Structure 1
Amino acid sequence: MTPDPTAVTVLTVLTTTDSAEKAESLARGAVEARLAACAQISAPVTSVYRWNGAIETAQEWQILFKTTPQRYAALEAHLTAAHDYDTPEIIATPVVRGGAAYLEWVSAETAAP
């Protein structure tokens, strides 16, 4: 049977934190644990949000992880445990197309040891 080229084999998972050091720690921990093949940290972004009834503005660092649907639950659990926010942003988006070699690499790098 030919694999379905539209099947989701990779997810991108986004979270944010309030410092470059925390972002690197979250990224490194996930990659070391093979919960993500890689993580990209974006320079500070400005977030505007409602929290406890007030509008807040904060500088945050975004981390974009590449993982598989099979590793998502473990990555979410890791981020929830390692994160210091009460309610961390953890959003998964399916990658519906991508280079075959790259998608295979993500799968290989996140395979359980």
Structure 2
Amino acid sequence: MADGEEVLFVYVTAADAAEAGRIGRALVEEGLAACVNLPAPHTAIYRWQGAVAEEPEQALIAKTTAARFDELARRVRALSSYELPCIVALPAVAGDAAFLAWVGMQVRPPASG
């Protein structure tokens, strides 16, 4: 991985495409994600407060590192309209070394000092 950094794919749900785009752009602009993908909108079927609900939803997939995950999750919660957004990280167990290094470089925190 990039300098030993674990690269993560973070799956996040949003209320709609506009919200997902707003969150994705903020994550990239703020250096918390190297890239964000917005797949096609989908339908979510879930249990919430004792009832089954079915609603349109938009997902986003952010590429980041384990070192930046907590900050990314805090930012998603701050930007999301959901009371409890799905924020789940999956490790990139293998991948193109150059791509993984690029992810690490894009989300490296600024040097302090």
TM-score by length of 2: 0.91
How many pairs does the alignment contain?
108
Deviations 1:77-102 (A, max 9, x none): 10111111011100001111000000
Please tell me the residue identity of whatever aligns with 2:42: V
Please tell me the residue identity of whatever aligns with 1:24: G
| Unaligned segments of structure 2, at least 5 residues | none
Shift of 1:18: 1.6
Query: Which ranges of 4 or more aligned residues in structure 1 deviate by more than 2 Å?
Result: none
Matches within 5 A, 1:1-113: 9-113=6-110
Matched-pair contact (CA < 8 Å) for 1:8–1:96: no
TM-score by length of 1: 0.91
Matched-pair contact (CA < 8 Å) for 1:8–1:94: no
Shift of 1:44: 0.9
| Unaligned segments of structure 1, at least 5 residues | none
Matched-pair contact (CA < 8 Å) for 1:11–1:67: yes
* Whole-Å separation in 2 of the counterparts to 1:108 and 1:46: 34
User: What's the RMSD between the two structures over aligned residues?
Assistant: 1.3
Q: Percent identity?
A: 38
